[in-house]
Amino acid sequence: MKAVVHAEIPGLEGLTYGEIEERQPGEGEVSIRLKTAGLNHRDLFVLHRHKPTDPPLIIGSDGAGIVEAVGTGVEGVQVGDEVIINPGLGWQKNSDAPPAGFEIVGLPDHGTFAEKIVVPAENTAPKPAYLTWEEAGVLSLAALTAYRALFTRGKVESGMKVLIPGIGSGVATFLLQFAKAAGATVYVTSRSKEKGEKALEFGADKAIDSNEDWKEALGGEKMDLVIECVGAATFNKALEQLRPGGTIVTFGASAGDDVQINLRTFFYGQFNFLGSTMGSAEEYSDMLKFIETHQIKPVMDEVYPLSEFGEAFKRIEEAAQLGKIGFSIS
């Protein structure tokens, strides 16, 4: 089958589109003929984490398709089912942190940028009927990450003021949509005027130019909750906008890893600073119910044929996108 495979050279240069052997589903597994897949920041990181000495790897964590074969002992999933993939392997019930052995589809196991994938049957869910194949293919990783950060960790409630720095990424657009559906007032920031304007169309109550004085731009409004996934470039600016007793959740650091925090300011502010990552199967199921209830569709940026993966990676590397970048496969 055709796939986007990483081998030997760290980074994008090690990536090719070509033939690779497929495998049959084992016990408890299903094989899915993928119709669409979705690109995530994680796919960029994987190109550096996957060792040159390891066997070639199909990358990609998000995908949707039709079940083509089922292994032994599989119940509740049948050939012909239209499914989406939960990319979290080995994290069932919600908990403080993922259990030992937790992995994400696309490293170390083969991922979704391929004509077919074999995954545990428990990692499939029926494709939401109101979503197109393109929308279903880009949903899982970003929407699950946003759901855990906003609900499980941030405990968002109706009436809260929520700030989302850096509104470009797929996960940030889900955060915006989820927070609005939960009844929050949502403030976003972006370096791009165009993205700020688009965010207003998607429901943001206010969009701030990242280069402005945030406090002034917010008119002195203090935030109950900040969901921060940009990193050092925005972290402290965001922290300064919290009300006493407010919460900042973080799950991304593409723009810088290290932040300096003043302990005295922090404890007098009675702040809560919480780390988050993707999420459990339980949260994935809750997220699917939530988006169906509120008929939330991913904000789509661009969809490329899988063979044009290079263009897609270029776009996410330059942070040029607003929303999700997808691939059409079959």
Of the ranges 34-42, 95-103, 116-124, 320-328, which one interacts with its own copies (CB under 8 A)?
A: 95-103
Query: Among 133, 251, 313, 327, which residue interacts with its own copies (rule: CB under 8 A)?
Result: 251
Query: Among 7, 12, 181, 232, which residue interacts with its own copies (rule: CB under 8 A)?
Result: 232
Pair 324, 38: CB distance under 8 Å: yes
User: Dihedral (C-alpha) 187, 193, 195, 199: value to the nearest 10 degrees?
Assistant: 40
Nearest residue (CB) to its own copies, 135 versus 224: 224
CA distance 165 to 327: 27
Under the criterion CB under 8 A, does residue 266 sit at the interface with its own copies?
yes
217 residue type, one letter: A
Nearest residue (CB) to its own copies, 12 versus 259: 259
Nearest residue (CB) to its own copies, 134 versus 286: 286
Under the criterion CB under 8 A, does residue 101 sit at the interface with its own copies?
no
Query: Among 21, 75, 96, 318, which residue interacts with its own copies (rule: CB under 8 A)?
Result: 96
Which residue, 154, 92, 90, 146, is CA-closest to 291? 146
Minimum separation from the CB atom of position 278 to its own copies (A): 10
Query: Among 28, 98, 285, 328, which residue interacts with its own copies (rule: CB under 8 A)?
Result: 98
281: which residues sit within 8 A by CB, 6+ positions away? 86, 88, 91, 92, 93, 122, 123
Under the criterion CB under 8 A, does residue 14 sit at the interface with its own copies?
no
212: which residues sit within 8 A by CB, 6+ positions away? none
**Distances in whole angstroms, Cα of residue 59 to Cα of each of 53, 68, 113, 254:** 16, 20, 6, 19
Under the criterion CB under 8 A, does residue 313 sit at the interface with its own copies?
no
Query: Among 78, 236, 270, 330, which residue interacts with its own copies (rule: CB under 8 A)?
Result: 270
The two three-digit tokens of residue 23, written as one number: 């495998």
Under the criterion CB under 8 A, does residue 276 sit at the interface with its own copies?
yes
Minimum separation from the CB atom of position 60 to its own copies (A): 21
Under the criterion CB under 8 A, does residue 274 sit at the interface with its own copies?
yes
CA distance 77 to 189: 42
Under the criterion CB under 8 A, does residue 231 sit at the interface with its own copies?
yes
Pair 165, 223: CB distance under 8 Å: no
Under the criterion CB under 8 A, does residue 108 sit at the interface with its own copies?
no
Alpha carbons within 13 angstroms on the beta-carbon side of residue 273 total 14
Under the criterion CB under 8 A, does residue 154 sit at the interface with its own copies?
no
Strand partners, 57: 6
Q: Give me the residues that bind its own copies (CB under 8 A), please.
A: 95-98, 231-232, 235, 243-246, 250-253, 256-264, 266-277
